[in-house]
């Protein structure tokens, strides 16, 4: 029982981290209808910049701020110079551009920092708990608190502010939104910057959680998060969060108990195809 609860807690933490990566992807998909594979590269850059700033200053807050600012900049550049000019082409054209971006940025990380796995020796200023013999480490507490905070903040921005209203209007119909006086190009850039800054936080958390930062750390999340936004319902942000947490828990429990001989990366896709057969519009998607 104790082991089960510990597995659950780990699963939720992994799910929460997936949710933070998937969110950016769901926001971008909702607004541009582009499968933003290069989002995983932004997340990798976030981990590297976070580690570099941390190594220089030993201050985790500065490191997070540095990573968020540089990732927001990177997201802005990708949007402005790769996606926006390719919007009028069929969807596979920006998709290939995105994959090329992912490869190029991964290579830049490898050339700049070397191909080895670096450790991220930061300790987060969060307390650890012991409840009924179950230890919740400070890293775990940090993952819970930070992801809950980020998700709440994003929920607030998208549903309760004027910026969120403009974002929703742009994602529903860009032409009409522009006609109503919304600067839709600026909204798109802002969406990219917000999503990329969140990916930076996810990158740092993954780096600390597994104590590993390496150039190809984005390769598997890049495609797994695609499956997650489909399961959640393409473009649905709450759906993406729900799907991420379900996958995190499901993966951890299945690997821990069922002893399924398939790697966990294939599991996400099997779950995705099962969900699509049952609800082709995704868990929380609407029929379009």
Instruction: Tell me how crowded residue 254 is: count the other CB atoms within 10 A of its CB.
Output: 16
Binds another protein by CB under 8 A, chosen from 17, 208, 230, 241? 230
CB 130 within 8 A of CB 136: yes
- Determine, following the binding rule CB under 8 A, whether residue 111 of this chain makes contact with another protein: yes
> Which span (101-109, 132-140, 196-204, 237-245) binds another protein, by CB under 8 A?
101-109
Listed residue (83, 110, 81) closest to 96, CA to CA: 83
- Determine, following the binding rule CB under 8 A, whether residue 116 of this chain makes contact with another protein: no
Minimal distance in Å, beta carbon 106 to another protein?
8
> Which span (64-72, 106-114, 172-180, 197-205) binds another protein, by CB under 8 A?
106-114
> Which span (6-14, 55-63, 86-94, 133-141) binds another protein, by CB under 8 A?
86-94
Number of chain residues interacting with another protein (CB under 8 A):
39
Q: Residue 10 contacts by C-beta under 8 Å, 6 or more apart in sequence?
A: 140, 252
CB 284 within 8 A of CB 242: yes
Residue with tokens 């699963």: 11
Minimal distance in Å, beta carbon 71 to another protein?
19
Q: Phi and psi at residue 66, in whole multiples of 5°?
A: -60, -45
Q: Give dist(CA 140, CA 10) in Å, integer.
A: 8
- Determine, following the binding rule CB under 8 A, whether residue 272 of this chain makes contact with another protein: yes
Site track 41-60 with another protein (rule: CB under 8 A), x = hit: --------------------
């Amino acid at each position: 029982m104790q082991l089960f609860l510990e597995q659950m807690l780990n699963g939720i933490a992994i799910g929460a981290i997936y949710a933070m990566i998937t969110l950016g992807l769901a926001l971008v998909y909702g607004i541009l209808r582009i499968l933003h594979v290069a989002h995983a590269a932004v997340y990798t850059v976030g981990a590297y910049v976070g580690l570099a700033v941390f190594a220089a200053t030993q201050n985790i807050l500065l490191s997070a701020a540095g990573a968020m600012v540089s990732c927001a900049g990177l997201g802005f550049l990708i949007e402005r110079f790769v996606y926006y000019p390719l919007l009028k082409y069929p969807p596979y054209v920006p998709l290939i551009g995105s994959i090329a971006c992912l490869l190029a940025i991964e290579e830049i990380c490898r050339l700049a920092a070397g191909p080895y796995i670096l450790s991220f020796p930061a300790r987060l200023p969060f307390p650890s708990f012991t409840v009924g013999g179950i230890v919740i480490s400070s890293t775990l507490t940090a993952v819970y608190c930070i992801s809950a905070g980020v998700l709440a903040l994003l929920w607030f921005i998208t549903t309760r502010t004027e910026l969120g209203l403009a974002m929703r209007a742009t994602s529903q119909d860009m032409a009409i939104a522009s006609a109503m006086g919304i600067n839709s190009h600026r909204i798109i850039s802002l969406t990219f910057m917000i999503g990329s800054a969140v990916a930076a936080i996810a990158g740092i958390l993954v780096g600390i959680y597994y104590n590993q930062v390496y150039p190809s750390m984005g390769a598997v999340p890049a495609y797994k998060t695609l499956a997650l936004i489909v399961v959640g319902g393409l473009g649905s942000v709450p759906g993406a969060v729900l799907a991420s947490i379900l996958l995190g828990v499901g993966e951890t429990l299945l690997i821990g108990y069922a002893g399924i001989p398939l790697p966990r990366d294939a599991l996400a896709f099997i779950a995705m195809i099962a969900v699509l057969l049952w609800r082709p519009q995704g868990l929380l998607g609407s029929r379009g």
